[in-house]
Structure 1
Amino acid sequence: MLKLQDKFKCKTLGDVNYYLGLHIERDVEKRWMRVHQKKYLEALAANFGKSEGHVATPLPSGFKCVKGPAEESVGEEERRRFHSLVGSLMYAAVHTRPDAAFATGQLARVVQCPNGEQVAAGERVAKYLGQTATGAIALAKNPVLHGLTKHMKVKWHWVRSMVTAGEAELHYVKTTAQPADMMTKRLVEQQHWKCCKLAGMALN
């Protein structure tokens, strides 16, 4: 910062706590950081989450997102609204909500000609995120969470050298204990929440 101030007119505002819709909390002494999008997700749910009642997973059981015939597509106004919805879901999935990544990716496949069922599915994802708006990505240097985030230190192309140097260990992970499943497939409620927990996500 001091070097920047030597060349540019800068104002120090202290530690960042809000940036582009991201709420940032951290404890330097305990070496942890928590990032969430509570306000953003609540607004998202208010704008798009039309479905009634509580939803436990991003997508309903048995839902398949397949591009259908053009005549079954919703009207132009609803289609533009769906574009906005999917874009908003992507912003959440990329930053703090990987649990919605698979659902968002599926919806993005039909963004040009969604039907009514697919629009309703998108609204369900928005409602799910709103109901779990305090969900956060927690990164910490402690025995509990460090094991969940250590992969961030390891670059994919360096796995072999890191293992050889003793910096990383590879372990077999059973399908039932694979947190990445929530980003690659549709899961039933129990498995979905188990993956969120394994990934170190704090959901309400």
Structure 2
Amino acid sequence: LKLEQLNVKTAFLHEDLEEEIYMTQPEGFVVVKKKHMVCKLKKSLYGLKQAPRQWYKKFDAFMINQKYRRSVVDHCVYIREFSSSNFIILLLYVDDMLIVGHDCQLIGQLKKDMSKFFDMKDLGSTQQLLGMRIVRDRKAKILWLSQEKYIEKVLSKFSMKDAKAVSIPLAAHFKLGNEQCPSSTDEKERMENVPYASAVGSLMYAMVCTRPDLAYAVGVVSRFLSNPGKEHWVAVKWILRYLKSTSKYCLCFGESNPEIQGFVDADMTGDLNSRKSLSGYVFTFVGGAVSWQSRLQKCVALSTTEAEYIAATEASKELLWMKSFLHDVGLSQKSFVLHCDSQSAIHLARNLAFHSRTKHIDVRYHWIRDVLEERLIQLEKIQTERNPTDMIMKSLPKEKHDMCRDLVGMTAFKA
């Protein structure tokens, strides 16, 4: 497959507006005799809430006119099949585009057609995308996604390049809660000088893109963004120290069968303050993680079975979306399996009867029973030792954490 990247210059400035919008005369361009008048916009501007929508509508109309089919499950993905084995898939992210296809001539023709309508910048073969480095070994059919340079910039920004490295994202001795938040005015003023929110935001971007091993740790420290304390900042610096020791780790794809594999887990009363449980899932494709989440549940679970049951329902929704997306791009898979390490939660999902201990569970979570009955997905048992979701649920010993990291396709990249 060929991977080509393009960028649209000043994407938001070319679209027509549907509403009448007026603005004050820009500074430095005020007409002396007409200072009391305003300007009527003919085209959209950066900063207008209509600008992104108008840009998308114009681009969407162009792609439909080029006989591309908009994906039903993701409206920023466009597909065109030229034959059973020849196709082009275009992915749009604001003004960045990624084109995937076999035929260089067809890709080149699409680039020419777009250049006639938009001011395009052809970036050639994709090597860097949204801060992620893409490395391919065509002979071995392996692809790596790395954020090593981004992580090095983050470490330099927060003066952690020379800090002592650690081997796990968050040590078990961190018991973070609201009682550690500053209460006095002096403490709050001291913490205002600490770049807590900026550091957590930087960590979150790495976690979302290529680092599922950070999901639990970043989720914990992000709960205290409004009023962080000294202990919370120490935990953030610990995560940065972990990043220093694992900056070369990246996601690796291509070392297994092209099938979606799902894993789900829950941590009972994972939040010390609200006592809500933590739900988490990881989905892998061709050996690497493609989707992951670690999030507090919306209600307090009364048992581990209930917590696991709710987590399985949330993961099932993601699996169904991925199933639809695979079918939309022309890939087939015999069965879509979600692995859960709770036998009681699996029995509860398969058994349509209501019990005295489970009748209080919100009706929305029983949706998984219909999904299983219609055989849209399968819910299977997996041993806890083989469930990589443990990594995004709690603090683990180094050996168990490294094993989970390997299961989701994270390896140290060597150029």
TM-score band, normalised by shorter chain: 0.7 to 0.9
Q: What is the TM-score normalised by the length of structure 2?
A: 0.43
Higher alpha-carbon Rg: 2
Percent identity of paired positions between Structure 1 and Structure 2: 29
Corresponding residue SS for 1:61: coil
1:1-204 map, 5 Å: 1-2=110-111, 3-28=113-138, 30-48=140-158, 49=160, 52-68=163-179, 69=181, 70-71=183-184, 74-78=190-194, 81-140=195-254, 142-143=255-256, 148-149=284-285, 156-157=319-320, 166-169=334-337, 171-203=380-412
* Change over 3 Å in CA distance of 1:118–1:179 after alignment to 2: same
Q: What is the TM-score normalised by the length of structure 1?
A: 0.82
How big is each residue's C-alpha offset from its partner over 1:75-123, in whole Å with a ceiling of 9 and x where there is no partner? 2111xx0010000000000001110111000000011222212101101
CA distance in 2, matches of 1:159, 1:50: 38
8 A Cα contact 1:182 1:192, kept in partner: yes
Q: How far did 1:152 drift?
A: 5.6
Corresponding residue SS for 1:13: strand
8 A Cα contact 1:57 1:192, kept in partner: yes
Greater relative CO, 1 or 2 (CA 8 Å, sep 6+) = 1
Structure 2 unaligned blocks of 5 or more: 1-109, 262-283, 292-315, 328-332, 338-377
CA distance in 2, matches of 1:167, 1:174: 20
Instruction: Give, as a single letter, the amino acid of the residue that structure 1 aligns with 2:409.
Output: G
* Change over 3 Å in CA distance of 1:197–1:145 after alignment to 2: farther
Instruction: Flag as ranges the 4+ runs of structure 1 deviating above 4 A.
Output: 144-148, 150-155, 158-162
* Change over 3 Å in CA distance of 1:159–1:86 after alignment to 2: closer
8 A Cα contact 1:51 1:120, kept in partner: no
8 A Cα contact 2:164 2:241, kept in partner: no
| Number of equivalences | 199
Greater strand proportion: 2
CA distance in 2, matches of 1:53, 1:25: 29
8 A Cα contact 2:216 2:391, kept in partner: yes
Structure 1 unaligned blocks of 5 or more: none
8 A Cα contact 2:176 2:231, kept in partner: no
CA distance in 2, matches of 1:53, 1:118: 18
